[in-house]
Structure 1
Amino acid sequence: MCDSLCDFVTGRTVANVGAEENRQFVEKYLVNVKGYPKDSIVVDFPLSLDLNGDFFETELDLVIHVDGLPMMVIKCAAASLDSRVREVVAAARILFPYHQLPFAVVSDGVTALIHDGISGKKTGEGLSEIPSFADLKEWLCNHRLIPMAPDRVLRQRLVFRTYDTLNVNVHRHTS
């Protein structure tokens, strides 16, 4: 196994640790199969959470934007996908202060679990079930983006942080 590789979306050299090879597969799949422009995909999206004055910084694997709006978060995992669902759904709920992301995905590069980011309900399984770029654009035309109730934000941040701190073999760029 190599120590580093070139990120498909950014062109940056990245450490080949944890689920990095899986992430590279997902990035290529999104662009080549699902029609995402590279500039709609943000790699290592920085996230800073205020937990009642205690700050927690991390990065999200992939955040997908449509017309400048974050719409989907993808967690790339190297192990059990089911164990990462609550983390990615919580991320979809807290990532953006003005609205919850409607799609939360966890993938190992072979398959994927797709969840409604607002309700948390499973909406699909398999890479083919990841919404295409056109699907997200259509969703945006037919639905309203809604914020999370303010009294639920701290709890969802705590849920996310709890799961995120369990990630091992992850290279973080934040300090």
Structure 2
Amino acid sequence: MNGIEERLIDFITGQALIDTDDERIRQTIERFLIEEKGYSKKDIEVDREFEIIIGEKIHKSKVDLIVSLEEKRFTIIKCSRGSLVSREREVLSCARILDTYQIPFAVITNGEDAEVLETSSGEVIGLGLEAIPSRYQAIEAIRSIEFKGLPKERIEKEKRIYLAFEAIKCPSECDY
């Protein structure tokens, strides 16, 4: 590498970003959500930073995409290369601890395929990009969802699980 990083422009935010495989996947999904699933750019938080506090230690992390409607976070999306199954527990933990309530759905995608998980049960409820709820489907679903939190002791366990996955992340240059 010559020390010059390639850049791309984020579809939603318009910010210049380092061009990586994972970033290209996220750009594909951002376009898909807006152009195919009917979401608007304002419905989607990109690269959302959050803190995980365990004892006196503060750990910072990020979520690729969060879809929110009617002032409720509805879905988090993890965009990553490789096996989807190996990311299930990570994305579920994140959906369980990111807010004061469990974000109802978690999605893992490699840009070509996807798994949609129901957060409270951990069940895979849909396979493929088409299984990701449209904006219309999400609005309908929000009306019947009870946004519930986890018991405090369970939150602490989920934080530790999430941080374990964060600790073993493979940098973007990793080969599979």
- Identify the range of structure 1 (134-143 vs 23-32) with the bigger mean alpha-carbon deviation: 134-143
Determine the C-alpha separation between the residues in 1 that align with 2:140 and 2:22: 30
Q: Where has structure 1 moved over 4 Å in runs of 4 or more?
A: none
* Matched residue, 2:152: 150
Determine the C-alpha separation between the residues in 2 that align with 1:15 and 1:168: 16
Higher-Rg member (1/2): 2
* Matched residue, 1:9: 12
Determine the C-alpha separation between the residues in 1 that align with 2:145 and 2:79: 27
Structure 1 residues without counterparts, runs of 5 or longer: 171-175
Q: How far apart are residue 50 of structure 1 and its match?
A: 0.3
Identity %, equivalent residues: 30
* Matched residue, 1:103: 105
Determine the C-alpha separation between the residues in 2 that align with 1:60 and 1:132: 20
Greater relative contact order (Cα < 8 A, sep 6+):
1
Tell me whether 1:132 sits opposite 2:162 in the alignment.
Answer: no
Residues 18, 168 of structure 1: 8 Å contact kept: no
* Matched residue, 2:63: 60
Supply the RMSD in Å over aligned alpha carbons.
1.1
Per the normalisation by structure 1, the TM-score is 0.92
Q: How far apart are residue 169 of structure 1 and its match?
A: 2.6
Q: How far apart are residue 42 of structure 1 and its match?
A: 0.5
2:51 to 48, 53, 56: 48
Structure 2 residues without counterparts, runs of 5 or longer: none
1:28 to 21, 27, 31: 31
* Matched residue, 1:119: 121
* Matched residue, 1:19: 22
Residues 18, 169 of structure 1: 8 Å contact kept: no
Determine the C-alpha separation between the residues in 1 that align with 2:35 and 2:167: 32
Determine the C-alpha separation between the residues in 1 that align with 2:21 and 2:157: 28
